Amino acid sequence: MVASVSKCRVCREPAIIDLPRHNANFCAEHLLQLCRRQVEKAIADHDMLSLDDRILVAVSGGKDSLAIWDILLELGYRAEGLYIGLGIGDYSDESGGYAQRFADERGLTLRTIDLRGEYGYDVPTAAKVTKRVPCSACGMSKRHLFDEAARAGGYDVVVTGHNLDDEAAVLFGNALRWDVEYLARQLPVLPARDGFPKKVKPLVRLTEREMAAWCIVRGIDYQVEECPMAVGNKHLGYKEALNSIERQSPGSKSAFYLNFIERMAPILASHSRAAAGELVACSSCGAPTTEPDSGDAPVCGFCRLRGRVAGHDPVPVELVLHGGARTAYRAARLAAGSAASPGATADGRTAQ
């Protein structure tokens, strides 16, 4: 039996994937070519990278960060990885394993930082102590540590694996609130300033489905399971909403985001408030931070978080999950214990 009837748009060999937004099917080789070209175009359009840059890739062990690392190396860039162990139970242990195996198999340099080992706290504990959503403490810790690693390691630029779906979902959220300040700053390149490294997102022209396909075709083993903290969050809801629209009218997501960048971002540029005030060095870690009004010694957000949370007894993941996320987490742990769960639902995300 033939594998499929659809043929590659480029070479007419049997296709392995249909990409409705391109109204075409592709074989493995030409899918990879398409992905490489989209990354090259993003890099060129936004002046993201040059071949002699020292690049630090923010590696999570998921598909996007491993794929962009792989693509950059293929395109001849000098890229090393940094993985941060966030202490999110089994999820973090497994993610770290995927990142390390990817690097080891290819003889690449992967730096690692363990939040608990080196800074005395983890994401679930930070969430519990600060009574804020886990992604807030997580995001701030990651940003700080990538900035610091880039400064200390003399890297020219930090690359993150944000893809078209990620950026379209953030744009959707910002547009739902008409948050002009955030909208004005939602660009694929953040230039270096005041001790903060340049940050770029070379995957903004590629969808999550294309990145997962890249990994499968390239034989990259990655963390497929979701971070337990993400289950049921708003960001995922926006992605699902956008994918329903995309299903009805292919190409909507890229038009929404890429046309925003091309047509709307320049109009909004004047609305991006100039960096509020001079930055000064954090009295504890030396990172750039805003000067406090009070006249106290400046302390950056990361050091303040660490000061509140470090030394607190570790809080298990389950205790910071609520509602559907906790139910899903329990179901996943049960499923991990038993080979198959016959009554499983098929919605692909939350156990009912």
Partner 1 sequence: MIVRLRQPKREVTIDGPCSVNQLLDQLSMNRESFLVIRNGTLVPGDGRLDDSDQIEIRPVISGG
- Pick from ligand SF4, partner 1, Zn ion, none: which does 264 bind, CB < 5 to 8 A by kind? none
> What minimum distance in Å lies between the beta carbon of 100 and ligand SF4?
17
327 is a contact residue toward partner 1 (CB under 8 A): no
Beta-bridge partners for 288: 281
C-alpha 125/C-alpha 309 separation (Å) is 7
Question: What DSSP character marks residue 26?
Answer: E
Q: 114-173: which residues touch partner 1 (CB under 8 A)?
A: 135, 165
End-to-end CA distance of the chain: 38
- Binding residue for partner 1 (CB under 8 A) from 45, 114, 221, 226? 226
User: In terms of CB distance, is 55 or 58 closer to ligand SF4?
Assistant: 58
> What minimum distance in Å lies between the beta carbon of 263 and ligand SF4?
30
- Binding part of the chain for partner 1, among 45-53, 76-84, 242-250, 295-303 by CB under 8 A, reads 242-250
Q: 238-297: which residues touch Zn ion (CB under 5 A)?
A: 282, 284-285, 287
Show the tokens assigned to 51: 């071949």
Show the tokens assigned to 314: 């570790």
What are φ and ψ of residue 206, in 5° steps? -125, 140
User: In terms of CB distance, is 277 or 342 closer to partner 1?
Assistant: 342
Binding residue count for Zn ion, defined by CB under 5 A: 11
Q: 203-222: which residues touch partner 1 (CB under 8 A)?
A: 207-209, 211-213, 216-217
Tokens 């070479």 -> residue: 11
- Pick from ligand SF4, partner 1, Zn ion, none: which does 80 bind, CB < 5 to 8 A by kind? none
Q: Report strand pairing: 110-114 vs 24-26.
A: unpaired
Q: Are 256 and 177 in contact (CB under 8 A)?
A: no
Is residue 82 helix, strand or coil?
Answer: strand
> What minimum distance in Å lies between the beta carbon of 139 and ligand SF4?
5
5 is a contact residue toward partner 1 (CB under 8 A): yes
Rg, C-alpha atoms of the chain: 21
Q: 49-78: which residues touch partner 1 (CB under 8 A)?
A: 60, 62-64
Closest CA to 149 of 108, 111, 94, 93: 111
Residues that bind ligand SF4 (CB under 6 A): 123, 134-135, 138-139, 227, 229-230
Show the tokens assigned to 333: 């742990």
- Binding residue for Zn ion (CB under 5 A) from 27, 84, 86, 351? 27
Sequence-separated (6 or more) residues with CB below 8 Å from residue 232: 323, 324, 325, 328, 350
CA angle 242/14/346 to nearest 5° reads: 40
**Distance set, CA 135 to CA 86, 167, 230, 249 (Å):** 11, 17, 8, 31
- Pick from partner 1, Zn ion, ligand SF4, none: which does 16 bind, CB < 5 to 8 A by kind? partner 1
- Binding residue for Zn ion (CB under 5 A) from 7, 10, 264, 272? 10
Is residue 212 helix, strand or coil?
Answer: helix
What is the contact surface with partner 1 in residues (CB under 8 A)?
A: 1-6, 15-18, 20, 25, 28, 60, 62-64, 135, 165, 207-209, 211-213, 216-217, 224-227, 230-231, 233, 235-236, 239-240, 243-244, 246-247, 328, 331-332, 334-336, 340-341, 344, 346-349, 351
